[in-house]
Amino acid sequence: MATAGKVIKCKAAVAWEAGKPLSIEEVEVAPPQAMEVRVKILYTALCHTDVYFWEAKGQTPVFPRILGHEAGGIVESVGEGVTELVPGDHVLPVFTGECKDCAHCKSEESNLCDLLRINVDRGVMIGDGQSGFTINGKPIFHFVGTSTFSEYTVIHVGCLAKINPEAPLDKVCVLSCGISTGLGATLNVAKPKKGSTVAIFGLGAVGLAAMEGAKMSGASRIIGVDLNPAKYEQAKKFGCTDFVNPKDHTKPVLVEMTNGGVDRAVECTGHIDAMIAAFECVHDGWGVAVLVGVPHKEAVFKTSPMNLLNERTLKGTFFGNYKPRTDLPEVVEMYMRKELDLEKFITHSVPFSQINTAFDLMLKGEGLRCIMRMDE
Contact between 237 and 261 under an 8 Å Cβ cutoff? The reply is no
Q: Tell which residue, 137, 282, 138, 295, has the closest CA to residue 202.
A: 295
Long-range contacts of 8-13 (CB under 8 A, 24+ apart): 8/38, 8/76, 8/152, 10/150, 10/151, 10/152, 11/150, 11/151, 11/352, 12/66, 12/133, 12/140, 12/147, 12/149, 12/150, 12/151, 13/66, 13/67, 13/68, 13/149, 13/150, 13/352, 13/355
Contact between 92 and 161 under an 8 Å Cβ cutoff? The reply is yes
**pLDDT, tens digit only, all 376 positions of the chain:** 689 999 999 999 999 999 999 999 999 999 999 999 999 999 999 999 999 999 988 778 899 999 999 999 999 999 999 999 999 999 999 999 999 999 999 999 999 999 999 999 999 999 999 999 999 999 999 999 999 999 999 999 999 999 999 999 999 999 999 999 999 999 999 999 999 999 999 999 999 999 999 999 999 999 999 999 999 999 999 999 999 999 999 988 999 999 999 999 999 999 999 999 999 999 999 999 999 999 988 999 999 999 999 999 999 999 999 999 999 999 999 999 999 999 999 999 999 999 999 999 999 989 999 999 998 7
Which residues are known to be catalytic? Answer: 47-49, 69-70, 99, 102, 105, 113, 117, 177, 369
Neighbours of 151 (CB within 10 A): 22
Number of H helices, E strands in the chain: 11, 17
Looking at residue 173, its amino acid is: C
Strand partners, 150: 12
Domains belonging to the chain, first-starting first, are: 182-320 (3.40.50.720)
Q: Tell which residue, 143, 292, 314, has the closest CA to residue 207.
A: 292
Report how far residue 76's alpha carbon sits from residue 39's, in angstroms, rounded to the nearest whole number. Answer: 5
Question: How is the beta sheet containing 242-244 ordered, strand by strand?
Answer: 242-244, 221-225, 197-201, 264-267, 288-291, 313-316
What does pTM read for this prediction? Answer: 0.96
Contact between 337 and 329 under an 8 Å Cβ cutoff? The reply is no
Contact between 336 and 164 under an 8 Å Cβ cutoff? The reply is yes
